[in-house]
Structure 1
Amino acid sequence: MHKKIICCLLFIISIFACVSAYAAEVTDVRWGLDRFNVLRLVVDLDSPPGYNISFQGQTMLVTVNAKLDEKVTRSFKMRSTLAPTMTVEESGGNTVLKLPLARTIGTQDYNAFTLKNDPVTKRPNRLVVDITADKTATPSVVIPKADNSAEKAKAPVTVPKTSTAKTTVPKTTTPKTTAKVTVPKKTAVKTEEKKTAKSSFKTDGGLKGKKITLDAGHGGSDPGAIGSNGTREKDVTLKITKKVQELLKKKGAKVSMTRTGDTDVYGPNASDSQELQARVDVAEDNDADAFISIHINSSTNKSVGGFSSYYYPKTNNDARLAQAVQDRLVKNFGLDDLGIRKANFYVNKRCSMPSTLLELAFISNPKEEKLMNSNWYINKLAKSIADGIEDYFK
């Protein structure tokens, strides 16, 4: 009898030993601050993480259910006025990131999500925490050097016309006045030398025969903004873009796509500027007459919603293109008209032909997120965009 008990105990001990041996481990911690003052924390792990975010007074605690690799940096000085320092320590088998804050923030002031490892891009499992409490409506800070930068930030971006909303676009994506907005990969990036335009573009004479490049925002390792029900921006933009492609072809246009699946456009281990430039290159390589980048907006204010179209005035036709599409969107839906807006987005600024970046409602708004999961909405949205592009060429 005693032998059986001893054997059972040894068996149980061996199980715990195996579990301990294969416990998740934090392999790296880094941070980044985009030009809109959004602080991003990224935790790399060797297996999918469990985590919890809590507060002790004004100290934010990000607890990850994983042990801490001894090679991980334990203390950070950050260029954030909200959280100038961060310490990393192991406690009870967990890894804890401690951020003393300059002031108290609420759950609406941060967003956390996990990313699975990607064998293609060789990126590990990650926990990403975006702290948007101090997000600004216009660029206000210098991006940290590469060795301190975090994952590609989603360039959130939209500022509603109302004075009470601070948009974070990006959920984007995202800059605003009083509401926080997440900005997708769209803006917070370093620029590279612009390539020489390969050909002139056409702006009238009808849509038939015109060359259009469609860009489905985000994709691959970058999910973009994520709604409260798990809807991912990259999935919605791809659905819309494919439908627009189909409609434009029926109207006689020649359409090129930056991506047709859930992939990064540049490829593995790309920097933000490399990924965005790869999208611009598709338009340049196809001598496009117009470039349309499709995104979904996001804000920490869940009541903010509506459409907006962005442009950079590098030609006399960029604003006209944005307005043509915006008019169709507003005409066919009962959502708020946030208007056309001038913005320094990489893809708009760097492509040689007229272009617009569309923010098609807010994934952070529960009602609008629900619409994004309905086929009739996707189809009607795509038709509005295609009709707007056709109007532009008349």
Structure 2
Amino acid sequence: MEPAGPFSGQSADERRRFLAGAERRGEMALVVSLIGNTDDDHPRSPLSSYSASIPVGGGILPRSVTGRRLPTGPLLELASELGPADRDLALRLRNRPPTAPWWALELRDMSAEWVGPAGVTRLMSRGRLEPILVNNLGEPVAGAWVPPDGRQRWYVLPDGIDWNTVLDWLMQHALPQFAPTALRRARSPRFADPDLQTRDELVARQELADLEAHYAEEKLRLKQQLLAAQAQAEPLRHGLLYGSGTPLVNAVHAVLTAAGMHVVDLDLELGATKSADLLVSLDDTGPWRLVEIKSAGGRPSENLVVDLQRHLNTWPQLRPERPVAGGVLIVNHQHKLDPSERDIEVYTRQEFVDTLQITVLSTRHLFDWWRLSDWAAIRTAVLGRDITPATPAATTPTDPSVPAGAKSRWWQRRT
């Protein structure tokens, strides 16, 4: 387990005795080494293509496996054509915490040559690295080095693993598959020799193994489902709650489209600054509404309303064939604060709110409706009334704690 390097004195001697003993008994030698250092996250030298290295195999020309540290949270999958023991190990490793470190592995052979009486002699290390777990680029992040004669399996695993998990895997899967005579010889209490088990024991043990494998696969499937949902939601979440400028406009555009509305990007159609940001309706026949989207690190200026009113006044000169029925100001206000610390409403001065001739929405309200898939609330807030679109809006998981059909009318609007 985790042997030291070839020049570490007693550890190297112990490893040589272990390998020699396994060869003498005709048993496969199983070795587990860790690569990398969990606590060392410093950037590697630009002159080096890897940040960690360990020797494997020993012998006159030791080979090495190098590792290049990967960014946190790589997408991992099982290598193809794994045996039962390696498959179980891969599933265990893939269930490590999301922040666990990983290194992309590469086998590096060594060669040497010398001149003697018989001429030039060339010697080259041999062996292969069998992937067990790979990233989305196909690079192994866990594997086993195997020499040409197949008498060793030198597992290279990432630093930071749970050794109890590895020990359990060795006793329950690796040794029974690769070196069963070693367990019989040691009379290990953790090894159940299948040749000495009753039928009931064998059936129960197999059912337990199947259950554990199913659990590991189901857990992995759900983790991948969660990661996919997070990857899809994060751009909109960040855009609506913390964005400004184009990212904010794009996020609002996506939410209104998901709610089943027809959305026109006016900056693309007319040119930037000529009018509001978006033109929306239930379909492409109207009635239409101009949508202005703004952000403010603190309390928003009341002049934002004046800007939208100016766009409403100049709209007939820009598109007289497409009249609008009003305007909507959507503001990501106080975005430098945590969403829980922001004012509920965009504007809080009641005298000003009472004079509003347009709808004012906060992106926080828009976000809450979007995350609960309350498309009717979004349509009602933006268009002034709930009209079910002919084509159903995009669906996302709903919150079961929210009653069906419940709507929250939190926007500011003159009554």
Range of TM-score over shorter length: under 0.3
Tell me which protein shows more helix as a share of its residues.
2
- The structure that has the greater radius of gyration is 2
